[in-house]
Structure 1
């Protein structure tokens, strides 16, 4: 089933869109099945769980941290993580830089923009993102690389609302790219809204339940 689900999604994706298989709470056997079907990028929201899966699974997998990040846990994934989504504090960037330096590597990061109208969503304002990217302090962080932005839309079936939120982030992203050539990735869209996100310029989608089935909330 996982293989069929992956094939169904991938056949519809434009070439420039990267699929992150959101595997949080899923057993290693499910990830192995997706791996056997050709998937190489997996997204987790808990560092400990991601570290355990990294140990158990093939080493050519790219691991993306997609959950809200606690700075004190960065050290547990710094040696293997490929991309960290959802960064919404400069202090977190400093900690990632510190831990990356210990491993003599550069860690790719996405800044999370707050585009949803829900109060519960994390994220930086557009003004704060511009301030971070242009700051002297940011320029001093040699072991991280901001390669793009990430956004989570309001949890709604209202396509007009979703389109408004996705397009606002795309417009802002394009504006930033004129001054920051390293910005390549716009991560927006999940199982319920990724097609609309792609229509509005997403280059990376985070899909879980459409691949693995619904999450096990008891874990």
Structure 2
């Protein structure tokens, strides 16, 4: 238990928190250390409980999930925020990624995928569900039309064949562990390649990777 991932649940619906607690407490390697019903309570709980990962609702009374995410990551960048929302097209949830969240999932995500996502963000990975990836491209597409003429081969010339392969999988919403399994590589090897891809293409995160891949015509709507 000493090495368990410490999780804080933040949601204004008690029944939702109860369901997540039941699910996560049945998982080896995860301990739910507390709950909060809004952003203000979440800030206090972070100070008291020192969680590793926060499951953060977006729309809550008072301090929203976005503002709470911004404050938590600003003060404690070591804490990972995994945003959960009911809506697959939610400007507030997209803003949460910009506020420093490490992941964005829908509340109807399969239990196993949620557990995988918690482990992924705890290890330093980022998670954006495939449905959100598709919506991100849909939202960004009207503003990227002229960029689709960019020569992909020229733009990607600095990437090795392996790095390009990994770049496409990142853009499809795959986590490092999923990429490792698909390509029969270790997670450390994948993580190193992801870092090189981001450096060579001047990307800050997976959201920018999705947009850039769309610009280059590597993924579509």
The two structures have a TM-score, normalised by structure 2, of: 0.36
**Which one has more relative contact order, counting CA pairs under 8 Å at least 6 apart?**
1
Rg larger for = 2
- Which protein is richer in helix relative to its size? 2
- Which protein is richer in strand relative to its size? 1
